[in-house]
Amino acid sequence: MSDEEIAKSADPPARWDEFLARAEECRSAAERMKSPLIVNHYDCDGITSGSIAAAFFEERKISYRMKTIRKLDSAVLEEIKDEKELVFTDLGGGQDGVQELRGEVVILDHHQVAPNNSRLQLNPHLFGIDGGTQLCGATTAYFALRTLPEAAIVGAVGDIQSPMRGPNRILLNELISRKIVEAPTDLRLYGRMSRPLPQFLAYADEPFLPGLGGHEERCVQFLQGIGADFGKSTTRSGGFKTYNELDSDEKKRLIGALASHMAEATGGRFPGEKLVGETYLFPRLIAFPELYEAGEFSTLMNACGRHNAPQMGIDICLGREGALEKGRELLTLHRRLLRDGVDYAYRVVRDWGPFLFLDGRGVIDDGLIGVVAGMVYPGGRTKPILAISLDESGKVKISTRGTKRLVAEGLNLGLALREACTPLGGVGGGHAIAAGASLPPEKIDEFLKSFAQVIEGQMKGKTD
């Protein structure tokens, strides 16, 4: 998107006034609550949107409780059925069961709306606004509750909605003029301020760098490929500079090298120019390197969610004492698990004919298996990768990834997973290029055979 197009995207959508009126209605309803339960999703957008609701009640000295969940299913609905007051953030819009809840309900969501869910809801989809790209759970919650603006931007970055468009952009422009956010164009990898170059590259995610991610040694080699002493620090012995310490010429060389690496490693799936773009800085948080930049902040939130510590993420958003220190420890753990996972994956990934197979059961956490699979998926690929891991309940979690080219040749991983899982009592789906599933553990052998047949069929159908 060109700068011009982005600027244009800040024009209010047709039904913007209606959206704002509903936001006001939700805010008043929340303000009348005495002791609400906030139910929020466990990812970055869910944690930040839930924190916005929490801060709203704290500012008004209204006591509240929180329940952070992975999925709003019948078990959760049963648990909360007697609650008198409920605020849902980043979920609740798409579930039929919400209609039947007895208590007062306010929904602040951006997912597709279930047709018979008529509870009080602020949701872009109800107003002809695309909730996939123009408003996330946290920015939606912000328009209603008007607190924790930094968290709102972090939620949007966490849901990959940057550069901001539409209503997200309206909010961004407002926050820029209030000096709460700065939006310089720069390399869009987190850790620019705080990490020496090899770590900066190794632990980047969204996008992670295939072949480099999780591997500091390879990152050192990559930097030497740019120039023998490239990025070396004269003050830190044997150490490297941070990205921010590079001069502008060095920055350009690094970005150029990364762009060609990405283009090659993803077979063009990730265009190099996407590495550079709008970034978001929070002047009020400049004292905290992990929170100063939105990408870094969102990585911390995702780490909290993935390691079953959503409350830590909420505490960080609310600025509770000691929370950020704990968050730093969690990030260290997260990076170690990622690095160990990637090391392990490089050793055990096998060519199974129609696909590459990574068995991470018992070694790689189910919250990380998708990221690890993406990191080790090598360049110039001619087949998709399928990775498995075990979740808390002992089920097999399946992650798959392909390339644009394979999709053009007929591959559809979302369909393939659904087709191969459903008859075996699993659930699966997603996009053609990347999809996930969950399966009873005893069915895995049968599944692998069936999956191989399905994708062979898909690829053959196209080439014949």
User: Residues in the site for Mn ion, rule: CB under 5 A?
Assistant: 45, 90, 136-137, 159
Nearer to Mn ion, 41 or 381 (CB): 41
Nearer to Mn ion, 89 or 412 (CB): 89
Minimum distance, C-beta of residue 270 to Mn ion, in the bound complex (Å): 22
Cα separation, 333 vs 326, whole angstroms: 11
Cα separation, 436 vs 140, whole angstroms: 27
Minimum distance, C-beta of residue 156 to Mn ion, in the bound complex (Å): 9
Minimum distance, C-beta of residue 47 to Mn ion, in the bound complex (Å): 10
Nearer to Mn ion, 266 or 299 (CB): 299
> Helix or strand or coil: residue 270?
coil
Angle of helix 44-59 relative to helix 310-317, nearest 10 degrees?
50
Minimum distance, C-beta of residue 411 to Mn ion, in the bound complex (Å): 27
Nearer to Mn ion, 89 or 266 (CB): 89
Residue nearest to Mn ion (CB): 45
DSSP string, 83-94: -SEEEEES-SSS
Cα distance between the two ends of the chain: 37
> Helix or strand or coil: residue 380?
coil
Nearer to Mn ion, 159 or 293 (CB): 159
Minimum distance, C-beta of residue 162 to Mn ion, in the bound complex (Å): 13
Nearer to Mn ion, 90 or 216 (CB): 90
Sign of CA dihedral 358, 360, 366, 372: negative
Cα separation, 274 vs 324, whole angstroms: 30
Minimum distance, C-beta of residue 92 to Mn ion, in the bound complex (Å): 11
Segments of 210-335 assigned E as strands: 276-278
Minimum distance, C-beta of residue 307 to Mn ion, in the bound complex (Å): 19
Nearer to Mn ion, 137 or 313 (CB): 137
Nearer to Mn ion, 137 or 231 (CB): 137
Residue 270, number of CB atoms within 10 A of its CB: 19
Nearer to Mn ion, 45 or 104 (CB): 45
DSSP, res 285: G
* Torsional class of 266: left (φ above 0), alpha (ψ -120 to 50), beta (otherwise): alpha
Cα separation, 315 vs 189, whole angstroms: 25
Q: Give the Cα-Cα-Cα angle 421, 423, 429 (nearest 5 degrees).
A: 30
Minimum distance, C-beta of residue 110 to Mn ion, in the bound complex (Å): 6
Minimum distance, C-beta of residue 275 to Mn ion, in the bound complex (Å): 24
Dihedral, CA of residue 227, residue 231, residue 234 and residue 237, to nearest 10: -100
Half-sphere exposure in the Cβ direction for 147 (13 Å, CA): 15
- Cβ(230)–Cβ(223) under 8 Å? yes
- Cβ(107)–Cβ(93) under 8 Å? yes
Nearer to Mn ion, 76 or 226 (CB): 76
Q: Which residues on adjacent β-strands are paired with residue 39?
A: 67, 88
Minimum distance, C-beta of residue 37 to Mn ion, in the bound complex (Å): 19
Q: Report how far apart, in Å, the C-alpha atoms of 127 and of each of 91, 99, 220, 415 are.
A: 17, 20, 49, 30
